[in-house]
Amino acid sequence: MRWNSAANFIISTGKSFSWIPVLVCVLLSEQTSPPSGQPAPAPSAGPNSPPTQSVTPAQNPAPKLPLVLIDAAHGGSEPGAILASNVPEKDVTLAYSRRLRQELLARGFQAQVIRDGDFALSTDQRVSIANSVKPALYICVHAASTGVGIHVYSPVLPLAGENNGAFLNWATAQSSSLSRSRMLQQQITSAIQKMGFPVKALAAPLRPLNSIVVPAIALEIAPANGTAEQLASVDYQNMTAAAVANAISTVRQRLETAP
């Protein structure tokens, strides 16, 4: 399957993914100039005269906020890994993605969650949404009972696959953004390390990362104390979401200048 980068295919998930700026046009009527050498006559204010209105000069639009698109893994009939106390991974990834969205909004980003409920989405549906919206950064969220802290993944592309103009090979569509993905991964990982939180940078041939045309990383949230029950803790989810949002804030300028 090939992705046409000029296509505009959006899967309905109950959320709106439309950020189209509203353009306001102010039309001014032409005024008749007074004869040369004569002052302009003052406007008369007769009883039938319409009220005068002042026109505010158009101002430059506010800069567009970078959009981070968050994708909670699994959902619906796909529970993912069963974590401690029979907590499915799909519940942890959804709760964490919502918290990360709020942390990013509080820091002045645009942030949206692809799966904002307990329903299943195929990998191709997730890719189609991300490639249609084209955020500054795509983040896929997973959870694991093994390991420690936060694992930040960048894609590893397969050797096969050829891109031809606007038609990109589905398995290697990430190739045009791979260097930016790895750069952002390293900078985000470094920022989390400076906070003293356990974090590790890894690379893996993960879907849907390989098929995303914009910078893309994956987060795998693991317990910091080795106890899987910590993954369901609101305090732990808030702490890790804040750490990731703070780290993303350090690369804000690079996200704002994304091509």
Taking only the tens place, the pLDDT of each residue in 175-230 is: 999 999 999 999 999 999 999 999 999 999 888 999 999 999 999 999 999 899 99
Instruction: Flag whether pLDDT at 43 surpasses 50.
Output: no
Coil, strand or helix: which one is 199?
A: strand
Q: Please state, in angstroms and rounded to a whole number, the distance separating the CA atoms of residues 221 and 218.
A: 10
Residues present in the chain in total: 259
The domain defined by 66-159+170-256 folds into Aminopeptidase (3.40.630)
Which sequence spans correspond to the domains of the chain?
A: 66-159+170-256
pTM here is: 0.75
At 124, give phi and psi (nearest 5°).
Answer: -65, -35
Instruction: Flag whether pLDDT at 90 surpasses 80.
Output: yes
Coil, strand or helix: which one is 51?
A: coil
- The residue ranking higher by pLDDT, 189 or 259, is 189
At 229, give phi and psi (nearest 5°).
Answer: -60, -25
Q: Which of 5-9, 95-99, 130-134 has the lowest mean pLDDT?
A: 5-9
Instruction: Flag whether pLDDT at 63 surpasses 90.
Output: no
DSSP assignments along 118-152, one per residue: S----HHHHHHHHHHH--SEEEEEEE-SSSSSEEE
Across the chain, mean pLDDT equals 81
Query: Can you give the pLDDT at residue 37?
Result: 47
